[in-house]
Structures are given as structure tokens and as C-alpha cells.
């Protein structure tokens, strides 16, 4: 096997993410190196890195990109100018960084959670949002965000107290408003994982009692049931339309009336739940080999 340098992109860790997130990175690094690949973790905004030395640059865990979005876009531009091979592709990553990509998904006839879009510089009107979405609880979050940053769960009773804060944030960036989907509390949120467009595995995330965030670092619980065929088919359809060129893709959605409604299509730095499925690391490795054009 020819030795080709691979960069697994990460970030400067300030303690925002830990536990199983770090463990997945360690497990992946160890697995790929044991298979004979020359892999190193590189911090995406480290100015000392020579990106031209890498055959592949894989965006594994740049988990602070949304905090430094302008710098992140500039870095992507640089990689493109240098002719670097990036996974997932730079054009796809730019599209996926702003949740307004959900409009494109909806335009293709696929179901998303109902959404009200708030442009940068606009004003949040809680009454209109509740009426438009027909919900007694709404979620307000930035169009460019991650890890539940600047995310508000509001009822009509507490919306007034939060409106000023939301309007201040709206002066800096665009937001979106969605109904709180009760099925997330009662059924959980599905995540379907794909490598090179092929289905790998599924997890079902449930919230901690009293919370609305399914992320494991907020106390969410992870399960591994067999997914209903209709939901998996819908997830595959989303990947076929929007992530065919991607090493990895995670489709997050919720089941409403037996149909998958997309919450997010994660194509930048998703946690991949590799430890939840026995063959997931091997499938990831085989997918990388395809991009390196190395026989298995």
C-alpha cells in the first residue's frame, strides 16, 4: 500500500466537548493507523499547517467552526485554491454550513420540520411565530450553529422575556424558528449514518427528562433499534439527492405520522456513533480507501 498522508481535521479543544466525542476520535485514529494508513489530527485554524502535504483532508471534528464561521469559510477557500482534496467536498460543506439548505431539501419535495426563517437584521415576533407554526412551544436557533448554541425553547408565557435577547442576536446573524416536535420527547430523534452514500447504521436519540436537547453531552440517551423501512428509505433519498459525493453523512429526523421529517442533514463534522455498531469503523475505513483509490 502506498503511504499517503491523511489529515483528520479537529479543533483547539477548550473543553466544550468531551467523553464519548473524544473517544470516537481516538478509536477512529487507532483503527485507521492499525490498518496502515498514515493519519494525523490537524487543527483546522492552525496557521502553521502545510495543507498541500495531505492526499486527503477529512473534516472529522472541527466542532468550533460555527463560532468562527468567517474564518472557516476563508480556510475552505484556501484549501480550494491550493487544490486540496477535502472530504466532504468544500462546495458541499459551504452549502451545509447554513441551515437554509433545508429550503433546498423541501423544494425537492422531501419533508422537513415546519420552519419560519428570520433574516439578519429582522425582528422576532413571538405571536406571529406561534400562530404560523400552530404550536404552543417553539425552538429558535441560528441558521449557522451547532451544539444547541444560542438555542431557545419558548412557550407563549416565557417568550416575552426572551424576545429582546433574540432580537439582539438577530442583528448579528439569521435565525430560524421551528415548532417543538413532541415526537422528539415521545419517540426520540433518529440519526441515519451513511459512508460514500451507502447506509451504515442507525441510532435513536432520546432526551433527558425535563430537557429538549438530544445531544449526548446534554444528557441524551442513545439507542440502536432496527429502523422502520420507510424512515430509512426517506433518509437514503435525502443522501442520494444531496450527499452522494460525501465520505460521511448523517441524516437527523423525527417520525411524524409514520414519515421522516428532516431536522438536519449533517455533512460537516457530525458525531458518527461509530462505537454503536460493530462494523462501522471498518465501513468508514473502506470508504476512505475508495477515495484513495487503494484496493481493499
Mean pLDDT by 10 residues, the chain (296 residues): 83 66 91 97 97 97 92 98 98 97 97 96 96 94 84 92 96 95 88 98 80 49 90 98 96 95 96 96 97 76
Average pLDDT score, the chain: 91
Residues 171 and 256 in one domain: no
Q: In what order do the strands lie in the sheet with 86-87?
A: 38-43, 5-10, 56-58, 86-87
Confidence (pLDDT) at 18: 53
| Residues 12-27 pLDDT 10s | 876 655 555 789 999 9
Residue 92 to residue 265: CA distance in whole angstroms? 11
Residues 63 and 148 in one domain: no
Nearest one of 141, 206, 146, 143 to 16, comparing CA atoms: 146
Residues 175 and 200 in one domain: no
Residues 105 and 220 in one domain: yes
CATH code of 84's domain = 3.40.50.20
Residues 172 and 268 in one domain: no
Residues 66 and 84 in one domain: yes
Residue 42 to residue 6: CA distance in whole angstroms? 10
CATH code of 209's domain = 3.30.470.20
CATH code of 120's domain = 3.30.1490.20
Confidence (pLDDT) at 212: 47
Domains contained in the chain, number:
3
Confidence (pLDDT) at 223: 87
Residues 251 and 107 in one domain: yes
Confidence (pLDDT) at 1: 42
Residues 241 and 220 in one domain: yes
Confidence (pLDDT) at 208: 57
Confidence (pLDDT) at 290: 95
List the domain range (segments joined by +) for residue 35.
5-95+281-292
Last residue of a domain, one of 180, 196, 230: 180
Confidence (pLDDT) at 153: 92
Q: Which helix (H) or strand (E) holds 103?
A: helix 101-107
Nearest one of 75, 97, 95 to 84, comparing CA atoms: 75
Confidence (pLDDT) at 34: 97
Amino acid at each position: 500500500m502506498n503511504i499517503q498522508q491523511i489529515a483528520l481535521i479537529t479543533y483547539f479543544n477548550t473543553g466544550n466537548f468531551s467523553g464519548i466525542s473524544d473517544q470516537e476520535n481516538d478509536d477512529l485514529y487507532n483503527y485507521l493507523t492499525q490498518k496502515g494508513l498514515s493519519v494525523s489530527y490537524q487543527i483546522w485554524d492552525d496557521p502553521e499547517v502545510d495543507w498541500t502535504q495531505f492526499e486527503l483532508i477529512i473534516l472529522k471534528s472541527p466542532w468550533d467552526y460555527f463560532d468562527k464561521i468567517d474564518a472557516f469559510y476563508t480556510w475552505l477557500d484556501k484549501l480550494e485554491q491550493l487544490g486540496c482534496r477535502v472530504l466532504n467536498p468544500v462546495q458541499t460543506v459551504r452549502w451545509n454550513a447554513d441551515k437554509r439548505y433545508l429550503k433546498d431539501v423541501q423544494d425537492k419535495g422531501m419533508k422537513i420540520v415546519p420552519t419560519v426563517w428570520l433574516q439578519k437584521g429582522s425582528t422576532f415576533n413571538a405571536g406571529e411565530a406561534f400562530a404560523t407554526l400552530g404550536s404552543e412551544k417553539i425552538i429558535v436557533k441560528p441558521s449557522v450553529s451547532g451544539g444547541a448554541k444560542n438555542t431557545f425553547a419558548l412557550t407563549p408565557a416565557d417568550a416575552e422575556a426572551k424576545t429582546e435577547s433574540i432580537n439582539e442576536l438577530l442583528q448579528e446573524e439569521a435565525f430560524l424558528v421551528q415548532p417543538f416536535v413532541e415526537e422528539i420527547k415521545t419517540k426520540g430523534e433518529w440519526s441515519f449514518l451513511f459512508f460514500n452514500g451507502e447506509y451504515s447504521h442507525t441510532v435513536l436519540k432520546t432526551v433527558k427528562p425535563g430537557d429538549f436537547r438530544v445531544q449526548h453531552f446534554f444528557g441524551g440517551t442513545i439507542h440502536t433499534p432496527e429502523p422502520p423501512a420507510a424512515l430509512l428509505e426517506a433518509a437514503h433519498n435525502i443522501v442520494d439527492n444531496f450527499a452522494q459525493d460525501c465520505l460521511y453523512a448523517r441524516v437527523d429526523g423525527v417520525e411524524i405520522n409514520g414519515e421522516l421529517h428532516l431536522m438536519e442533514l449533517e455533512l460537516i463534522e457530525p458525531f458518527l456513533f461509530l462505537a454503536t455498531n460493530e462494523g462501522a469503523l471498518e465501513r468508514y475505513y473502506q470508504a476512505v480507501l475508495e477515495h484513495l483509490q487503494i484496493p481493499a
